[in-house]
Chains A and B, each alone.
Chain A
Amino acid sequence: MRRCLPGSLARRRLPSRSLTTSTAQTSWRIAVQNKNASVNALVYVAPDDAGTISEAVKDNICTKNMPTTCSSAMLRDFTSPFDATVVQLLNDSGATIIGKTNCDEFGMGSLNIHSVHGPVVNPYQHPASAMEWHVRERRSAGGSSGGSAAAVAAGMCDVALATDTGGSVRLPASYCGVVGLKPSYGLISRWGVVSFADSLDCVGIIGKNVASTSRVFDVLSKFDERDPTAARSSTREKAQELSSEQMAEGLSCSRDLTDLHIGIPQEYFPASLDSSIVSPFRRVVHALKTRGATVLPVSLPSTRYALSAYYVIASAEASSNLARYDGVQYGLHGTYALTADAFDNYFLQSQRLRQCIRDDFMRVFRVPNPLAESPARNEAGVHVLLHPSAVCTAPHLDEQDGLDAYTQDVLTVPASLAGLPALSVPIMAGAEGDGWPLGVSIVGQWGCEKMVLAVGAAIEDVELKRESLA
């Protein structure tokens, strides 16, 4: 099968009338019309458009005027009676929500192939390819927010909302060559976001560039009393204060990075990391040094436990959260980790490992932890960490044998377990690779989004300069 066929459901839901309206055919609508059949990024397209900024919303975020299927047959006909807080905030900001984006079922997956709407096909095409775009190489857009990343990459919208539990924003952003932000846990309301694993779930933002991602983050980062895990205003202010204290030292402008200390975590270069990713990464590090940044190697020794801890916690919470859909039918065929006999050895052990991973991060950061009772200062610490976003470029969709979805998350889950902000920014591929998009991730202290985004903008600037030179 050469062409990706969107699920029959998805096609049924695309109102044909909207595709033929000629009066105000904005660029995003043309992109949807021309590309969505091939990319399968949008599973529902809104019939009207009025706003200036076009935004798409992942299909596991509730909207009262559009279906919310979570890419699951279980919610095939579900429309929520309410808008998620983030949808309300977007609407209030004057954005046009153009539709709902494809994803892995309930956000569980790393390739966006587990969807009742069919897989998302990465819209990227290598510039040297002689093939027509519609018959381009079929590669994954990443998951679980593949639809959101692909929609932005294909120009169907300016920004897309997504969710990130263990890398679901950063991985597709990296594979599709767009910017993806997973904010600090608790900054953006989860009210109306269908739970996968509540202690890890974050609403994330995927944008064309750092500036548009940052603008939407500012719109969404608000305290919401409907989310019991939302960070209080006082905590936000404290984080802001601690972060800007350190920001003042440098980062005032992306050209001059004097006083910026960047840590390169040694554990983030596993054997599975594609060698062709290392040299572009080195090039970026070098460019940042040239602009004055101090780059230091750091160690996060508990990283090797992250994937195991993540999968125990995420699947335990998921089995609980999914009970409402199928519990009566399937009963206790849920997570082994929660059974009375296994609870201590698996669930509690994973919680302990999660704390070790958190402690690792807290040891290396210069900015004190705003969530700690008495935040300790670490003058020798780094402002942010920098590492490749993914171990490889977008995997081929039709050769799934070699794909191990679990290991796709190895570089992204530590920040999720620690609840830290992480931003994936696209970088240019090196000559030795396959030429597909790559991303680097910037991880910062809790609440240091401004700092993380500023470093992201610096890297974006480095890449722009290089592109214009090339």
Chain B
Amino acid sequence: MTLLKPAKAPLPEGAATIPPGKAKTKGKAERDAQLGRRTMWGPAFALPHGLGLAIFTLLPIVVSLIISLFRWPLLGTPSFLGLGNYQRLFSDPIFGQVVVNTVLFVVLYVPLNLVVSLGLAAWLTPRIKGRHIFRVIFFIPSITPVVANVVVWRMLYQPGGFIDGTLQSTTGISAPNFLGDEHWAMMAIVVMSVWQGFGYNMLVFSAALDAVPENLTEAAAIDGANAWTIFWRIKLKLISPSIFFGTMMTLITSFQVFAQPFILTKGGPGSSTSTIVLYIYNQGFQFHQLGLASAAAWILFVIILGVTAVQFLGQKKWVHYDA
């Protein structure tokens, strides 16, 4: 790489704009530009962002890796543990349960989210009257703050709340105490999360479906394919890049689920709804064990990295990029 080194050869002020009359005296810079050689302006423009990335992303990542090797109380002196924090996490049955809970959430939430959002996107064809209004309505849960949504859902879920009240007045049976019963709590959180989260994917899928070339679907129709076949055999294949994107983003964010259990259940009853990020939050900001929290965060990072890598490897089999 041929780079101008800013520290050694700073360009004089105003060197960016080469006045036409003086072009010959600045011949070298011009030639460089014509040859497509790098000047210092590229990196200079990238510097603010690069600095931001270095300070607010890379450095914290490195520091958290270092912290994860220490017993690091918020108040007091850190002591080096090596892999002690990781050892403790792997031998801690509660952390094991927390990981299982998170995986359970992901396994339940991601397919449900995709089915609901794809289903609604498929239903919202241009033939539906007022589809824009429906789109907006379905998207509203995604843009309202989780905290507000959670408060409303608590009113639905709690004994004597909307679900329980309606059931009792119509059938006389009382609903389970959804959030106060460990067998129901995770399910209740998944349902709430799907309602909260499907809007984004729906919008992406809906846009992708609109972009499917009509001549393809028409040709299929002429060949005698019905609506189902067209959807499964043509549309779904053509929007597979969007589905891949949606699946990946949903997977990543669902591994990071936090706000719903944090507000609805505090991780309870027992540890039935504790998730990895909730565990990290509690260790870090409630119990001030920054080392343990960082180690848990790195485990989560590795899990997400692994799952994403598998996704990327698997995409060759089902994602079609050339229409």
Q: Report whether chain A binds chain B.
A: no
